[in-house]
């Protein structure tokens, strides 16, 4: 029974631990501007163009903002979704882009890139069409264009300034504050309940690691790591964030002689 409990406990703990230790924390943190307070007042320019970095080729392309957003919306959300959802995606993507433009980009000669792991996804019309069924191509594209055009000039502000509109597909029922993930505090990005996500395919997910797998992953970052799984407190959750996620997890370390340290 004790072993079963330990196994269950390990599974739960590891499912929280792995995203914290091994996901995009470092990578994404490089993309997040923390200069919210440095925003200058912003006036929407009808002829706004953005400099898009194509991550595969390294080329930088100048595009009209809304034309660029056709490629973002069609890459970030299936065209089969409701038009109102596509409109919401257009507004959020426009806001995210504007924020990058006025707060500086991590890319030297571009405002934004087309890599969703770095900035936000973008796909060319040609490549998008190649992935749609023939009978859907025109209707799908028209829907995307309507979503972007009907929301043109619409973006989200906080105290009159465009926000850093970070977005994702699914919160697992509750959003998390960025400061608990990448660092950086934004007064408008707080933990809120997000009902209606239950049907999403990755609403719940689970990662199961053997003890050896856990050790080998921790060793990547902490080469001298040793753990004694017979110790019931070898893995311990110290505290949780306001959204209920694990904030601090303690792995008890052992020396070569088996002494705790
Ligand atoms: Zn980027």
Going from N- to C-terminal start, the domains of the chain cover 2-24+203-251, 33-165
Q: Which residues contact 100 (CB under 8 A, 6 or more apart)?
A: 33, 111, 112, 119
Burial class (CB in 10 A: 0-12, 13-18, 19+), 175: middle
Q: Cα–Cα distance between 261 and 255 in angstroms, integer?
A: 7
CA atoms within 13 A on the CB side of 20: 17
Backbone φ and ψ for 172, nearest 5 degrees, come out as 65, 25
Cα-to-centroid distance, 113 and ligand 1 (Å): 4
Confidence of residue 255 (pLDDT cuts 50, 70, 90): low
- For tokens 């055009």, what's the residue? 149
Cα-to-centroid distance, 28 and ligand 1 (Å): 9
- Structure tokens given for 88: 């919401």
Cα-to-centroid distance, 55 and ligand 1 (Å): 8
Cα-to-centroid distance, 104 and ligand 1 (Å): 11
Cα-to-centroid distance, 32 and ligand 1 (Å): 10
pLDDT, average across residues 69-78: 97
Q: What is the pLDDT of residues 94-114, one digit of tens each?
A: 999 999 999 988 999 999 999
Coil, strand or helix at 56: coil
Cα-to-centroid distance, 76 and ligand 1 (Å): 15
Average pLDDT, the chain: 84
Confidence of residue 143 (pLDDT cuts 50, 70, 90): very high
Its pTM stands at: 0.74
Supply the DSSP symbol for 117: T
Cα-to-centroid distance, 11 and ligand 1 (Å): 34
Cα-to-centroid distance, 101 and ligand 1 (Å): 12
Cα-to-centroid distance, 108 and ligand 1 (Å): 10
Coil, strand or helix at 169: coil
Cα-to-centroid distance, 26 and ligand 1 (Å): 14
Q: Cα–Cα distance between 189 and 163 in angstroms, integer?
A: 9
Handedness of CA 28, 30, 31, 32 (dihedral sign): positive
């Amino acid at each position: 029974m004790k072993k079963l409990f330990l196994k269950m406990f390990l599974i739960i703990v590891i499912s929280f631990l792995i995203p914290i230790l091994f996901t995009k924390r470092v990578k994404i943190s490089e993309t997040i501007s923390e200069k919210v307070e440095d925003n200058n007042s912003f006036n929407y320019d009808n002829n706004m163009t953005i400099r898009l970095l194509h991550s595969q080729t390294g080329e930088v392309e100048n595009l009209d903002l809304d034309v660029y957003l056709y490629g973002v919306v069609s890459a970030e959300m299936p065209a089969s979704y409701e038009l109102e959802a596509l409109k919401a995606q257009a507004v959020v993507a426009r806001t995210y882009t504007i924020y990058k433009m006025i707060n500086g980009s991590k890319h030297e000669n571009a405002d934004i890139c087309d890599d969703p792991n770095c900035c936000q996804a973008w796909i060319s019309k040609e490549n998008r069409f190649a992935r749609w069924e023939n009978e859907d191509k025109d209707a799908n594209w028209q829907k995307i264009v309507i979503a972007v055009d009907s929301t043109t000039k619409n973006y989200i502000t906080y105290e009159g300034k465009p926000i850093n509109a970070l977005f994702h597909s699914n919160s697992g029922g509750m959003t998390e504050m960025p400061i608990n993930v990448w660092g950086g505090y934004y007064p408008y990005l707080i933990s809120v309940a997000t009902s209606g996500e239950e049907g999403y395919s990755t609403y719940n997910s689970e990662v199961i690691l053997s003890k050896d797998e856990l050790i080998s992953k921790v060793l990547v970052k902490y080469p001298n790591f040793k753990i004694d799984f017979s110790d019931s407190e070898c893995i311990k959750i110290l505290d949780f964030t306001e959204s209920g996620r694990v904030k601090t997890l303690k792995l008890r370390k052992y020396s070569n002689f088996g002494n705790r340290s």
